[in-house]
Structure 1
Amino acid sequence: MELEHFIGRQRERLPGEWLQPCSERLDTAGSYTAVMSTASKESLESSLRQLKCHFTWNLIAEDESLDEFEDRVFNKDEFQNSEFKATMCNILAYVKHCRGLNEAALQCLGEAEDFIQQQHPDRVEIRSLVTWGNYAWVYYHMGQFSKAQAYLDKVKQVCKKFSSPYRIENPALDCEEGWARLKCTKNQNERVKVCFQKALEKDPKNPEFTSGWAIANYRLDDWPAKNDYIDSLKQAINLSPENTYVKVLLALKLDEVHKTQAKALVEEALKKNPSAMDTLLSAARFYYKVYDVDRAIQLLRKALESLPNNAYVHYHIGCCYRSKVHQMLNRREMAFNGDRKKLQELIQLALNHLQKAEEMKEMLEHSCSFLADLYTIAKQYEEADHYFQKELSKDLPPGPKQLLHLRYGNFQFFQMKREDKAIYHFMEGVKIKRKTKPKEKMREKLRRIALRRLHEDESDSEALHILAFLQEDENGQQADKDSERAGRGGACL
């Protein structure tokens, strides 16, 4: 993991050496123990809840496990690994605490302090408030209440300068919360937007705040006008020309008309910062988007050197090779020009990476379906059926579920010659109340099967059942349309 790599650089220190700076600061205030002897645990916790830090921001969704949270934050999403190291150290400390690894959490917070000293020497106190708040919470959960109170008092000493006990309104804190929510949360888009808006209102030309606003604009899917986030990305580049990640994000948003400009931005970013994971991964995504799969694979393989155990990197490499397989299959001359060996090599490369991704992290979206597709092409039908069944066992959204029923139905019909199973899966896909192209394809396949069977036997009960099913589905769709029209009409009254 990239984040673990830069945190681990200093972990060879002895534990005493690692925590010495913190211990020295704590020893300067001998009254902390006395304060804690009279203060109750409840009042301490009440004060802790007023802090602005990762422990009070509700970063993990209620329906999300800690495994899912950690995987999404550190593996699935791209990193902001070059400029926001203190932020990432704080996030890692929070995850370590949630895992019950409080000593490791303290080490991460010590690393965050080091980065703050390096990157913000003129604003150490303000920039350290979140880290100190996290320290207080970790020590509180460790039962070391005097140390928790010590860090709480450090926060209070800064905040009292602004006539506030434990929290202040400051753009740096708004920005820190924005980064944390942008990186950690799934469904808090509006809150992320508010954080960066507040920071920019107080300091509209700040490069870091502008970059955060631009990345938020890029990632949030509820923005009405495309030009809004293109303009914000351009502004971020003007203020932060060294931010290569934002350059690639802009390239990803430029349309076909500006393809040459987009490629120039990506190559400039890669030349400037060739080893940054966020830049590499987003650049690979760009080249996949513009159908330069070989360049995407080259970049992903470079990322794999630093992230050999990242399931998502393996997954994306496998997807690239699968794309090359389908490109070859779509060339009619492939069967006649000796490319069969090349095709088999590509299939094996795709299988290797997708299988490795699946082994590292089960339930990756589409991974089993893609493996089944590749095994079908390779005519290894037993393996293909295994992965189809594995994908069917997943709790998929309606759209992907429909597409899976179409693919598995086709597999049963064409490869396994099991028309009964094909009919079953086509019908299961049609039952899903979602009007999509896969649904229409399944309806048409069922209609053709039924008509063929009736041509062979006018009393075929299965064929009559299929036609009755299709008619019922059509009536249901019409009823839904009528209800929708009535609803719209009522709303206008």
Structure 2
Amino acid sequence: MALITPELLWPQLDTLRHDIIGDSLDKVLPQLKCHFTWNLFREGSIASYMEDRVCNQIEHLNSEYKATMYNLLAYIKHLDGENEAALECLGQAEDLLKSKKNDQAEIRSLVTWGNYAWVYYRMGRLLEAQAYVEKVRHVCKKFANPYSMECPELECEEGWTRLKCGRNERAKMCFEKALEEKPNDAECSSGQAIAMYHLEEKPEKQVPVDALKQAMELNSKDQYVKALLALKLQTMGEEAEGERLIEDALEKAPDQTDVLQKAAQFYRRKGNLNRTIGFLVRALRSTANNSPLYCLVMCRYRERLEQLQNTGDAETTEGREKVEELRRLVMEYMQKALQRRRSPLSAYSDLADSLEVERCYQMVFSKVSPSAEEQQLYESYCNLQEYHKKSEDLDALKDLMQFPRNEKSAEKEEGKTPT
């Protein structure tokens, strides 16, 4: 009978140990408070430009908020299959958190360590995953659940993450829970005010102006909150004060995408389409894959075209040239939107007026006989329409595109288009 030597047993013991660790992680990982357990995105729903937006935030936010964004960027990288890049982002988050006070650094690091554990687990590197689980347990061991804890810092971290992912209702609940224990916390106050703003944009809702003012007083460096307050003041008839705030926010954060978009919204309400378009185009410099933003620029150019036609200046030589240029820009930005997303029309949650985007697509296609390039865009648009099962619009568009159309018939059709 052959002797069983330690060398023969070691591989079997390693396999057994690996299986034991894996079974343990299967039970522990769902208990960790991190991006992998917060259910941030519906399957397949993450926007292609989300990474651009997060990178823009990292570039322009104050250092104390960057760790939160690096954690979110790590999760996005993981979802894209870039696990090594995800680990690099988590390393950046961990380095930023080390600058905080010791107790706060440990608590805020729980999310980063949880993310580390999940990424290593998904990579099959179970020993590294187990090591980060142990780091979490070391901090949480004094609580009933050794792998998670309830505290304002973690609620705030979850709130910001959910806010950036469009989960505004849950974000508001997180910030409110944190503020129960830390009522004057500037970070939580800003987060709550922003969540309330997004939840209460509809006209029938009460304007959260007091929450925005308090947030700005507690955190004067938050230019996005300042821009939101400017918009609220504008709706309340205090446009001059609102404009002062929006200009101040632009001066202090000239390249911050979300501030530029709110500035565009402010000046569109004010009737200044040239500035509106300028701000939107500037915003696209740092979020080049943002299909809804391209749609929005397309709509603003279309609106500028309608303004020109309504003044009667379109009949002059200079006016006709401007009309053609605006039509070219509308088509250009429509094409860019279609190129950057499988379904740009599915991103309506980022737009103030989704029907306007829909109308702009239809009016462009109804304007003249399509060129080969325009026909290709039309077919792409029809595919999107079918995707969203808008058959009634699709039939109407097919009728519009079936025959050559002259300018007068196009104008007649335009007059029938519902606003």
Given candidates 332, 337, 344, the residue that maps to 2:312 is: 332
> Does residue 1:391 correspond to 2:370, yes or no?
no
Count of residue pairs the alignment pairs up: 384
Task: List per-residue Cα deviations over 1:415-458 (Å, max 9, x = no partner).
Answer: 389x9xxxxxx9xxxxxxxxxx95xx9xxxxxxxxxxxxxxxxx
| 1:321 counterpart (283, 297, 301) | 301
Q: In structure 1, what is the Cα distance between the partners aligned to 2:222 and 2:296?
A: 24
Q: 1:396 to 1:282 in 2, by over 3 A?
A: farther
Counterpart pick for 1:370 among 353, 357, 360? 360
Separation in 2 of the partners of 1:104 and 1:275? 25
Q: Determine the structure 2 residue equivalent to 1:128.
A: 109
The reply to whether residue 356 of structure 1 matches residue 336 of structure 2 is: yes
The aligned residue for residue 167 of structure 1 is 148
1:488 aligned partner: none
1:372 touches 1:388 (CA, 8 Å); kept in 2? no
Change (3 A) 1:98 1:334: closer
Structure 1 CA distance for aligned equivalents of residues 121 and 152 of structure 2? 27
Q: Which runs of 5+ in 1 are unaligned?
A: 1-32, 420-425, 427-436, 442-493
Please say if residues 33 and 114 of structure 2, whose CA atoms lie closer than 8 Å, have aligned partners that are also in contact.
Answer: yes
Within the candidate set 115, 123, 126, 1:145 is matched to: 126
Residue 98 of structure 2 aligns to a residue whose secondary structure is helix
Q: Distance in 2 between matches of 1:223 and 1:42?
A: 48
Asked whether 1:301 is paired with 2:281, we answer yes
Shift of 1:123: 1.6
Root-mean-square deviation (CA), in Å? Answer: 3.6
- What is the 5 A alignment of 1:47-446? 47-61=28-42, 64-65=43-44, 68-71=45-48, 73-75=50-52, 80-81=57-58, 82-83=61-62, 84-118=65-99, 123-185=104-166, 188-221=167-200, 226-254=205-233, 255=235, 257-336=237-316, 338-365=318-345, 370-371=360-361, 373-374=363-364, 376-377=366-367, 379-382=368-371, 387-393=377-383, 394-395=385-386, 415=405, 438=418
Asked if the contact 1:372–1:386 (Cα under 8 Å) also holds between the matched residues in 2, the reply is no
Deviations 1:136-186 (A, max 9, x none): 11112222222111111111111123454111110110111112222225x
Tell me the distance in 1 between the aligned counterparts of 2:363 and 2:83: 45
Residue 296 of structure 2 aligns with an amino acid whose one-letter code is H
CA contact (8 A) 1:248 1:265 kept: yes
Q: Which amino acid aligns with 2:311?
A: R
Please give the per-residue CA displacement for 1:253-273, whole angstroms capped at 9, x wherever unaligned. 331612222221110100112
Distance 2:122 2:168 in 1: 30
Q: Assess if the C-alpha contact under 8 Å between 1:217 and 1:223 holds in 2.
A: no
CA contact (8 A) 2:335 2:377 kept: no
What is the rounded CA distance, in whole Å, between the counterparts of 1:413 and 1:38 in structure 2?
Answer: 67
- Listed as ranges, the gaps of 5+ residues in structure 2 are 1-13, 346-355, 410-415
Q: Give me the whole-angstrom Cα distance separating, in 1, the residues matched to 2:243 and 2:398.
A: 38
The answer to which structure, 1 or 2, has the higher relative contact order (CA under 8 A, 6+ apart) is 2
Change (3 A) 1:330 1:52: same
Taking structure 1 as the reference length, what is the TM-score of the superposition? 0.68
Which structure has the larger Rg? 1
Quote the offset at 1:214 in angstroms. 0.8
Identity among equivalent positions (%) equals 40
Structure 1 CA distance for aligned equivalents of residues 67 and 215 of structure 2: 20
Q: Could you say if the C-alpha distance between residues 401 and 122 of structure 1 is closer, same or farther in structure 2, counting changes exceeding 3 Å? A: farther
Deviation readout 1:397-427 (Å, 9 max, x if unpaired): 68x766666666667799389x9xxxxxx9x
Deviates more, 1:240-249 or 1:407-416: 407-416
Deviation, structure 1 residue 60: 2.0
Q: Displacement, 1:54? A: 0.8
* 1:190 Cα deviation from its structure 2 partner: 3.6
Change (3 A) 1:329 1:385: farther
TM-score by length of 2: 0.79
Distance change (3 Å), C-alpha of 1:368 and 1:214: closer
Residues 401/218 of structure 1: CA separation in 2 closer, same or farther (3 Å cut): farther
Distance 2:26 2:136 in 1: 14
Whether the 8 Å CA contact 1:94–1:105 is kept in 2: the answer is yes
Contact 1:78-1:277 within 8 A present in 2 as well: no
Q: 1:249 to 1:120 in 2, by over 3 A?
A: farther
